[in-house]
Structure 1
Amino acid sequence: MSSSATAGTYTLTVTGTGTSVTHTATFSLTVSGGTPPGCGGVTAWSSTKPYVPGDQVSYNGHLWKSTRYSTGAEPGAPGSWAVWTDAGTC
């Protein structure tokens, strides 16, 4: 999976050729700009939101799981190692 596509609308033409017939279909593909707010539907981390144990957030391309009550503890920061568990890349 790649996240490097440039935002915009693109025209795609698909052609299928058989032994005696050819079919062509044209489609429009729209790529939205910006980083999606979350990781597979998981909400992005916010420094102002309070979290409870078991909450999940996305931050810096990783999925994080809260192990303690916290507000403002940045996932992956040296002082937050006991607050968040890294569940892997998105």
Structure 2
Amino acid sequence: MMKEKLEEINRHISALSQTIKHTEEMMKGNDVCFLKEFPVSMERVQISQPDPQTPSGALIHVPRYLGNLSFGVWKKMQNIVQNSESGEDL
């Protein structure tokens, strides 16, 4: 699946590289020719990409990594700090 997507991306990159090369050649040539062909070139470049599909199994366990950070820190601090019963107020 990933190999197919990589090949598809490489094809798109190759097509875009050819379009860029063709546009650069036209720019070196006659300005009138470039201006006449410019709208057609812009349409070729404007390729709408579909929304990427997220492969199953690629998702992270969100609550585990993005849970309540302050609560997690507080719980860890309870293990580190010992409660002392003293009569002094700080």
TM-score by length of 2: 0.21
Instruction: Name the structure with the higher strand share.
Output: 1
| Higher Cα radius of gyration | 2
TM-score (norm 1): 0.21
